[in-house]
Chain A
Amino acid sequence: MKRLWACVVILVLLITICTYGTVETKKVSEQMAQTIESARQAAQAGDLEKAQKLSEKAADDWHNYHEVLCTFMPHAQLEAIDQTLSGLPMLCYFEGMDQFGADCDRGITQIMYLNEAQLPTLENIF
């Protein structure tokens, strides 16, 4: 009977951890995608200073989220996003706008992929 109670505790813990992981990833990915999108729009509108600030903010935010996300996500996926976001402020500073736009899109895609990979959909399960 004690083992069955241990089983119930494990089940509750697992549900909590898995739900937290999914919700946290969704929240982080939406916030990050929004910030990068704003940076891209600012760059398109010619406001490079704002674009640089937003891309710096995106890189800083990502570093903060990274600590939490790396406890339950494969590190290779997170590092790929890290590399994309780290280059954005520099691209903005040196006015490499084509490259900046392309890297913003890449960053958004990578972040959205991160979210999609966490969802318990049929595609992901099978």
Chain B
Amino acid sequence: MNKPQQEEHTICGDKKMTISFIRTLLLYTIIILAVRLMGKRQISELQTSELVVTLLISDIAAIPMQDTGQPLASGFIPIAVLVMCEIVVSALMLKSTKFRKIICGRPIIVINDGKVDQKEMRRLRMSTEDLSEQLRQKNVFSFEDVAYAIVETNGKMSVIKKPDKEQPTAGMLGVALPDTGLETVVISDGVISDFSLQLCNKGREWLEGVLRGKNISADQIFIMTANRKGDFNIIKKDAKQ
């Protein structure tokens, strides 16, 4: 009988660090793709289901990042399932109001026609401090000023002031203001944005004319904004020290 050959094994701690490094990069890419796939709503307004998915994804991604003994698939598969569920749930919410109510709940009116609805506040487990804090964040400093306060499904509060407490608008005062349209950044750090020029209904010819008139080149400009009316504002780059 031949003596079996013993295998050579090397243990290297550095390799584990490299694995963690590569895995983190991969998972970072996957999470960015996942959030993009779920849509922009995910970033700004978190509904109940979106909050759950965001929390779970961050937790799941951390496991294979830290534990190199776990296969990367143990992170990828749950993330893919969560993304899939989130897309399906948001599509269903768009189609069915009932389904949306089940998942997100409904907006709750806590101040109705100037009267604080204590029952609804208790239901929301919202204290008077919470209510006044949220009102202050909306630039309302007295309960007296509020006609309606609604807690939206994403937890944010919408406030409608009493008509006599609202700030008058130009329309109310009968003042005609010129419509200057959207102001956009057409040059940012010396780079011309054709998209922004399009947004304010201007072209490269107009921009070149303006720059010629001011005797300046685009690469000397830090920020240039413009609007549809043709008003513009130029901030030059600081001189290099």
Contacts and interface: CB of A to CB of B under 8 A. Distances in A.
Interface of A: 3-4, 6-7, 10-11, 13-14, 17-18, 21, 48-49, 52, 56, 70-76, 86, 89-90, 92-93
A52 B1 contact: yes
B7 A74 contact: no
Nearest to B34: A10
Nearest to A8: B84
B193 interface: no
Contact of A3 (B3, B39, B70, B74): B39
A72 B3 CA distance: 34
Given A7-B84, A86-B7, A93 B69 contact: no
Contact of A52 (B4, B81, B87): B4
A6 B33 CA distance: 12
Q: Please name the 9 residue pairs, one residue from A and one from B, whose CB atoms are nearest each other, closest first.
A: A89-B4, A75-B69, A72-B73, A7-B87, A10-B84, A3-B87, A7-B84, A10-B80, A72-B71
A93 B91 contact: no
A48 to B, nearest CB: 6
A3 B94 CA distance: 13
A71 B87 contact: no
A118 B208 CA distance: 66
Interface residues of B, number: 22
Contacts of B77: 14, 17-18
Contact of B71 (A13, A73, A89): A73
Contact of A74 (B1, B71, B88): B71
Contacts, number: 57
Nearest to A86: B7
B69 A76 contact: yes
A74 B7 CA distance: 23
Contact of A56 (B4, B39, B74, B88): B4
Given A6-B87, A11-B84, A14-B77, A93 B71 contact: no
Nearest to B88: A7
B149 interface: no
A56 B6 CA distance: 11
Contacts of A49: 1
B56 interface: no
Contacts of B4: 52, 56, 89-90, 92-93
A71 B71 contact: yes
A93 B3 CA distance: 6
Given A73-B71, A90-B4, 9 more contacts: A6-B87, A7-B84, A10-B80, A18-B77, A72-B71, A72-B74, A74-B71, A74-B74, A75-B69
B37 interface: yes
Given A3-B39, A70-B71, A73-B71, A48 B80 contact: no
B159 interface: no
